[in-house]
């Protein structure tokens, strides 16, 4: 299927998490990825900024993730954290609820609870949320470019900067979707399917319609459930253009081989219905999307976070800055990164560091003389104390500069991973070799360098 029919324009997707991410999606990074994923709650929070960013600066194909699952985990997750808000639902979620309408508004605003499968019994409720969810994706950004009072402002800024303001239509529309794994799995799956059926039959705006499947790890490893899920989705006609997959807290780096096998099995089965996109994936997904017959079309991550993600909390935690070690394809704490680089013998001089650790533009600028001293700017941190769980906790927080540099280095590393010319054989050889080079005591950070090759062999790739 071409990108026009799938709505997926390349293998490398990046998530726009917050406005602070913008600088890692523009400038030298703009051409390193294919497509953006914007969360609906972020779009509801800062529509003008995102409309300007997409239409004027990024000018990249994009997808809006409607985050419909967020309303099923308990109302407390949606509440504003500020004391002044008095237990009210956060404004961005409030805006989404208003846009999506139907049972979302009735459950959360009127009944003051999260949504339940029973709220979607009638066909009208499904029609209402499908229309609301599709309209939000189709129209929100363009309404800020054309008919809202802010349109004038955006046009003025664009004219002043001499940049064309493009009309922004997402590459595809994501059907409403709900999390499978907690309770009422059969009921939620049925609702997902009813929404998807309605949308693929009459595609909103004539755009490709994507299914999003968000599933727990226990369900992913349950063969009977996966059979049931895949055979149910395969009966939907017309089929979705692609399947956006998110396995709750699934981490490629720590998964045991059996879990990796279940994961590959799920992707393989879903891929027989439509191309799959891993919405939270790392280098192993990148390899699978490149070398296997499994129909994994693309992989998404955020700027230095999001290679794995828990469904709850729905808002997203505090990103912690770590150093991405390209040879391990893994983010490491400062102590682990320094230890690994020393073990690789790459702390002694600049040339060895650039050869064995990283030669991205950021590292070239930072590692100028003595790697052991120069690298410290990636790790600068301040100790801060905060009250949590009934006691004071002191933790090291990376400085703004350190976090900025780590993110830039990470984005360069990711770009290189998606474009590297290595064949599968040398990818596997390199993984095995880095594991051998690191001491046994590093196993907790490097065991995937052994597990991944074993897994690739088991699925018949080695």
Footprint on this chain of Zn ion (rule: CB under 5 A): 358, 360, 362-363, 409
In angstroms, what is the minimal distance from the CB of 195 to Zn ion? 43
User: Residue 12: CB partners within 8 Å, gap ≥ 6?
Assistant: 32, 33, 34, 35, 298, 299, 414, 415, 418
Q: Which tokens go with 361? A: 């533009």
Q: Which is nearer to Zn ion, 3 or 362 (CB)?
A: 362
Q: Which is nearer to Zn ion, 98 or 374 (CB)?
A: 374
Q: Which is nearer to Zn ion, 215 or 363 (CB)?
A: 363
Q: Which is nearer to Zn ion, 58 or 360 (CB)?
A: 360
- Beta bridge pairs of residue 300: 13
In angstroms, what is the minimal distance from the CB of 16 to Zn ion? 22
Q: Which is nearer to Zn ion, 53 or 323 (CB)?
A: 323
In angstroms, what is the minimal distance from the CB of 59 to Zn ion? 26
CA neighbor of 21 nearest in space, from 259, 316, 456, 454:
316
* Helix, strand counts (H, E) of the chain: 20, 12
Q: Which is nearer to Zn ion, 141 or 367 (CB)?
A: 367
- Sheet order of strands, 242-247 included: 62-65, 35-39, 12-16, 296-301, 276-278, 242-247, 209-215, 173-174
Q: Which is nearer to Zn ion, 196 or 411 (CB)?
A: 411
CA neighbor of 302 nearest in space, from 286, 280, 320, 322:
280
d(CA 461, CA 388): 47
DSSP class per residue in 218-287: HHHT-HHHHHHHHHHHHT-SSPPSEEEEEETT--TTT--HHHHHHHHHHHHHHHTTS-EEESS--HHHHH
User: Residue 451: CB partners within 8 Å, gap ≥ 6?
Assistant: 255, 256, 257, 260
In angstroms, what is the minimal distance from the CB of 124 to Zn ion? 54
In angstroms, what is the minimal distance from the CB of 409 to Zn ion? 4
In angstroms, what is the minimal distance from the CB of 329 to Zn ion? 13
In angstroms, what is the minimal distance from the CB of 355 to Zn ion? 12
d(CA 433, CA 442): 14
Q: Which is nearer to Zn ion, 312 or 416 (CB)?
A: 416
In angstroms, what is the minimal distance from the CB of 77 to Zn ion? 36
d(CA 91, CA 261): 41
Q: Which is nearer to Zn ion, 140 or 407 (CB)?
A: 407
**Could you tell me the CA-to-CA distances from 296 to 7, 255, 260 in Å, in that order?**
14, 18, 14
In angstroms, what is the minimal distance from the CB of 415 to Zn ion? 11
User: Residue 281: CB partners within 8 Å, gap ≥ 6?
Assistant: 252, 299, 300, 301, 307
């Amino acid at each position: 299927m071409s990108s026009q029919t799938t709505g997926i324009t390349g293998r490398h997707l990046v998530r726009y998490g917050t406005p602070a991410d913008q600088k890692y999606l523009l400038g030298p990074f703009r051409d390193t990825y294919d497509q953006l994923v914007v969360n609906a709650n972020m779009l509801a929070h800062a529509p003008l900024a995102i409309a300007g960013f997409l239409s004027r600066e990024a000018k990249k194909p994009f997808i809006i993730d409607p985050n419909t699952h967020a309303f099923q985990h308990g109302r407390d997750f949606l509440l504003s954290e500020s004391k002044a808000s008095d237990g009210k639902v956060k404004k961005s979620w409030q805006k989404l609820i208003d846009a999506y309408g139907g049972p979302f508004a009735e459950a959360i605003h009127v009944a003051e609870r999260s949504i339940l499968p029973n709220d979607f019994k009638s066909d009208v409720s499904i029609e209402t949320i499908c229309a609301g969810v599709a309209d939000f994706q189709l129209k929100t950004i363009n309404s800020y470019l054309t008919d809202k009072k802010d349109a004038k402002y955006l046009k003025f800024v664009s004219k002043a900067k001499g940049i064309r303001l493009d009309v922004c239509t997402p590459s595809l529309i994501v059907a409403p979707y709900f999390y499978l794994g907690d309770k009422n799995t059969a009921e939620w799956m049925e609702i997902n399917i009813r929404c998807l059926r309605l949308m693929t039959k009459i595609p909103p705006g004539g755009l490709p319609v994507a299914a999003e499947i968000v599933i727990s790890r226990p369900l992913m490893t349950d063969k009977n459930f996966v059979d049931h899920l895949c055979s149910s989705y395969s009966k939907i006609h017309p089929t979705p253009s692609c399947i956006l997959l998110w396995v709750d807290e699934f981490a490629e780096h720590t998964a045991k081989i059996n879990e990796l096998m279940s994961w590959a099995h799920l992707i393989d089965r879903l891929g027989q219905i439509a191309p799959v996109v891993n919405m939270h994936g790392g280098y192993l997904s990148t390899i699978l999307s490149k070398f296997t017959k499994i129909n994994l079309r693309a992989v998404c991550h955020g700027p230095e976070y999001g290679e794995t993600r828990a469904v709850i909390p729905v808002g997203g935690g505090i990103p912690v800055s770590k150093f991405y070690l390209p040879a391990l394809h893994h983010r490491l704490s400062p102590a682990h990164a320094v230890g690994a680089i020393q073990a690789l013998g790459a702390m002694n001089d600049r040339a060895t560091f650039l050869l064995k650790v990283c030669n991205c533009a950021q590292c070239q600028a930072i590692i100028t003389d003595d790697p052991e001293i120069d690298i410290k700017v990636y790790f600068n941190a301040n100790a801060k104390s905060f009250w949590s769980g009934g006691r004071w906790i002191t933790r090291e927080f990376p400085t703004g500069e350190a976090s900025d540099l780590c993110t830039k280095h990470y984005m360069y590393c990711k770009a290189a991973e998606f474009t590297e010319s290595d064949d599968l054989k040398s990818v596997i050889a390199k993984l095995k070799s880095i594991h051998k080079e690191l001491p046994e005591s590093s196993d907790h950070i490097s065991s995937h360098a052994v597990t991944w090759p074993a897994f690739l062999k088991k699925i018949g790739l080695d």
